[in-house]
Structure 1
Amino acid sequence: MKKCLTLLCIAALLLACLPTALAEESVPTPKYVFMFIGDGMGNPQVTATQYYLGSIQNPNSEFPVPADLSFTQFEALGLVTTYDASSFCPDSASTATSLASGEKTLSGVINYDVRLTTPFKLITEYAKEAGKKIGVVTSVSLDHATPAAYYAKQPSRRDYYEIAVQGITGSTLDYLAGGGFLSPTGDDPKAPRTDILQLAMENGWTIPGSNEEIRALNAESGRVLAIDPVLQDSQSIHYEIDRERLAAEGEDILSLADFVAAGISVLDNEGGFFMMCEGGKIDWSCHFLHRILPGFDGTLMQA
């Protein structure tokens, strides 16, 4: 009797696990993986954008009507408050490191442990091993902390030249696009190093030189380094609000979406791809408040 009861319990457990096992087996492996990062984009920035767009879409509305954004309509939403290994307010380097590697580190460090001795393995490296092509797109410079975390490993986020060299000479990336480079020949003007663009050409990268060439990129273009022909400050592409204003005046300025579209064409293959895209100037806009609010606070002190 006990033996029969034991067998029945085991059978019941196996049957209970069966739907889960079948569900796991039926989940297809994703072929195309996009990771979008809004650097500095929290709830206040999202809400402000919704009300700004809502006021444009409903100019005669008596009450504010927030507009829907693509990602605010997703079926699932997750919120988390976190920190890095040294600060309750992490910077882009340690944050991007945790996103790219799953490991915590110190502020200012890219893909090294807190002792600066052990490099981390990246999601892009795992994806490459799985047969996927890899793309990194950003609205800021290509050697900035967030994009760098997906292809480089450096003790300091300010090692711009070394970061760029790792991306260009390494085997991980197939598409690198958006802004330019902050230190294309190194930090010492008296002893310039090999220009990053020259290094890219020596390593077989395709470097389109115009908007038309960037839009014409395809799967036959090889490894592509696509830099916006018209850059703004700090080797970044245009703020969208500036791009739209210039477009209204007849100028053709590429958007972050243009670089993503070109990347999809370049990376298209049977094995699929992984693409990280960063909206890197969201926090730049917010940084202006650091200068504006103290001045405003000073005026109150005069009252």
Structure 2
Amino acid sequence: MKRRDFFTNSAAGLLLGPITFSGKPENIHPVKTRDSAKNIIFMVSDGMSTGTLNMADLLLTRKEGRESAWMKLYSEKTGRRAFMETSSSSALVTDSAAGSSAWGGGKKVPNGNLNVNADGSFNKPILQKYKEAGKSVGCVTSVTITHATPAGFCINNKSRGDESEIADQYLDLKFDVMMGGGSEFFSPETRKDKKDLFAAYTSAGYNLARNRDDLLALNSARKPVLGVFCEGALPYSLDTFEDKTLQSSVPTLAEMTGKTLELLSKNPKGFVVQIEGGKVDWAAHSNDAGGLLYDQIAFDEAVQVALDFAAKDKETLVIITTDHGNANPGLFGSDKNFDMLQKFRHTNNWIMGGLKEMLSPAQLIERIEFAQGYAIRTEEAEKLLKLFGLKNEKGLYITNKPLFKEFGSIQTKYTGIGWAGMDHSSDYVELAMFGPGSEKLDPFVKNTDLHNFMLDATGVARV
């Protein structure tokens, strides 16, 4: 949380003028704007059920005495709000590939596909359209830059899982800013074909950023930027709060957002960028309350950066939404239970995923109490340890689904947060907008509607 101070005196401050990045913007008011938007900032909290948005706002209110930037749009009536349906062409419950492709390509595609229809035909991704129209474009994410949600705005691929190929596909597009994790898909040491994509990107004229210092040093919009800051996804926000090494080496989503807007806004024809809080989805899949809510708050801090930019710029449409719900968490316990979240130091993933060897029940109890401030019972620790090392049921983004499901269930009595499952849901989801064009938002839309909505809002022809 302390890393928000970055924006007061650095890149975002230089770009936006004097602002206070405290979640209490002084300049977010309804403003008279031009008829169309020059820029779009499309913000995705991946896998965000409504309960996630609600609880993150409650946590901020009780811990810091402030509303989330997203909910403040509603309470102060400065933004527009709608529900959005989220199905794919193959199922009521979408995956992230089909979800992002609905926005990116304008058509529903089967789960697993990136802008590829059931008959094998392609839908042209929206960032390619905007690039051809002369705008600067890009994607920023807290997971791998080759993951389904950013890829859905960028490329066509029959399989979302081939991230090495997707990394290769990005090369010739020369999008202006692409940032996230996933170094294993660019490095010759970890790619199956041993191709050195980092060298290929450099040869093609890209500026590479491999750590936070590299990010802060970026100052030119003349060369495209590839920022890949770690292997795999970026660490959970909660796990960085007391880790100075992570803080100094890996940028936050808000930091990446501020630098990206600084770079892209230098184009007089405007820009379109997607910003994704991808770890919200990963935490929901593992029923990890701390990981979920603090990454939602990290996403909200990026939302604040976007709203501050748009309020000053007056030519930028900010779209804030999610591709689908996930696990449908909610608060069912007491205020005292919920306030335990304020003391959390680490995620469930840090507690369980970081173990190198079997602990005793007493050691596990101590580890959980250190990380999250409560002591589970001996019989609960024994139940968890019986599941430790079990690999026969792999969960999405976790290697031991039974262990994390049981931990999330035990944790419920201490935090008051319960879960409906560990998978995506078919819920209609929140959709918010701020800026020029937002007044045309209908109260209920299909996910595919946003494709043409964005093109129309910026005056770019539907192709």
Task: Report the TM-score, using the length of structure 2 for normalisation.
Answer: 0.52
In 2: Cα distance, 1:249 partner to 1:239 partner = 10
Higher relative contact order (CA 8 A, sep 6+): 2
1:40-90, Cα deviation, whole Å (9 max, x unpaired): 1121110111122222125xxxxxxxx521122222111123311111111
1:277 is aligned, of 253, 275, 281, to: 275
Whether the 8 Å CA contact 1:185–1:194 is kept in 2: the answer is yes
2:161 is aligned, of 158, 163, 176, to: 158
1:237-281, Cα deviation, whole Å (9 max, x unpaired): 122222223259985641011111111222221111111000000
Matched residue, 2:80: 76
Q: Please give the residue correspondences for 1:53-64 in structure 2 after superposition, counting only pairs within 5 Å.
A: 53-57=60-64
1:17-51, Cα deviation, whole Å (9 max, x unpaired): xxxxxxxxx94331221000110112111011112
In 1: Cα distance, 2:211 partner to 2:222 partner = 15
Task: Report the TM-score, using the length of structure 1 for normalisation.
Answer: 0.77
Judged with a 3 Å threshold, the aligned counterparts in structure 2 of structure 1 residues 222 and 109 are, in CA distance, closer, same or farther, namely same
Matched residue, 1:261: 258
Whether the 8 Å CA contact 1:92–1:145 is kept in 2: the answer is yes
Whether the 8 Å CA contact 1:219–1:265 is kept in 2: the answer is no
How many residue pairs get matched?
A: 258
Shift of 1:296: 7.2
In 1: Cα distance, 2:169 partner to 2:111 partner = 20
Shift of 1:216: 2.1
1:185-221, Cα deviation, whole Å (9 max, x unpaired): 68997x6242221221121111134422311212345
Matched residue, 2:59: 52
Identity rate of aligned residues, in percent? 25
Shift of 1:288: 1.0
Judged with a 3 Å threshold, the aligned counterparts in structure 2 of structure 1 residues 168 and 114 are, in CA distance, closer, same or farther, namely same
Matched residue, 2:193: 192
Runs of 5+ unmatched residues, structure 2: 1-32, 74-78, 288-400, 411-463
Three-state SS of the structure 1 residue aligned to 2:275 is strand
Judged with a 3 Å threshold, the aligned counterparts in structure 2 of structure 1 residues 45 and 153 are, in CA distance, closer, same or farther, namely same
Judged with a 3 Å threshold, the aligned counterparts in structure 2 of structure 1 residues 221 and 85 are, in CA distance, closer, same or farther, namely same
Whether the 8 Å CA contact 1:221–1:266 is kept in 2: the answer is no
In 2: Cα distance, 1:183 partner to 1:160 partner = 6
In 1: Cα distance, 2:140 partner to 2:40 partner = 13
Three-state SS of the structure 1 residue aligned to 2:44 is strand
Counterpart residue identity of residue 138, structure 1: T
Counterpart residue identity of residue 150, structure 1: F
Q: Please give the residue correspondences for 1:1-303 in structure 2 after superposition, counting only pairs within 5 Å.
A: 27-57=34-64, 67-74=66-73, 75-115=79-119, 117-171=120-174, 173-184=175-186, 192-220=193-221, 222-228=223-229, 231=230, 235-247=232-244, 251=248, 253-267=250-264, 268-289=266-287, 291=402, 292-294=404-406
Counterpart residue identity of residue 236, structure 1: A
Judged with a 3 Å threshold, the aligned counterparts in structure 2 of structure 1 residues 251 and 32 are, in CA distance, closer, same or farther, namely same
Bigger CA radius of gyration: 1
Counterpart residue identity of residue 224, structure 2: R
Whether the 8 Å CA contact 1:100–1:149 is kept in 2: the answer is yes
Counterpart residue identity of residue 199, structure 1: A
Whether the 8 Å CA contact 2:104–2:153 is kept in 1: the answer is yes
Judged with a 3 Å threshold, the aligned counterparts in structure 2 of structure 1 residues 249 and 30 are, in CA distance, closer, same or farther, namely closer
Whether the 8 Å CA contact 1:243–1:255 is kept in 2: the answer is no
Three-state SS of the structure 1 residue aligned to 2:108 is coil
In 2: Cα distance, 1:188 partner to 1:281 partner = 23
Matched residue, 2:76: none
Judged with a 3 Å threshold, the aligned counterparts in structure 2 of structure 1 residues 149 and 226 are, in CA distance, closer, same or farther, namely same
In 2: Cα distance, 1:137 partner to 1:241 partner = 20
Counterpart residue identity of residue 175, structure 1: V
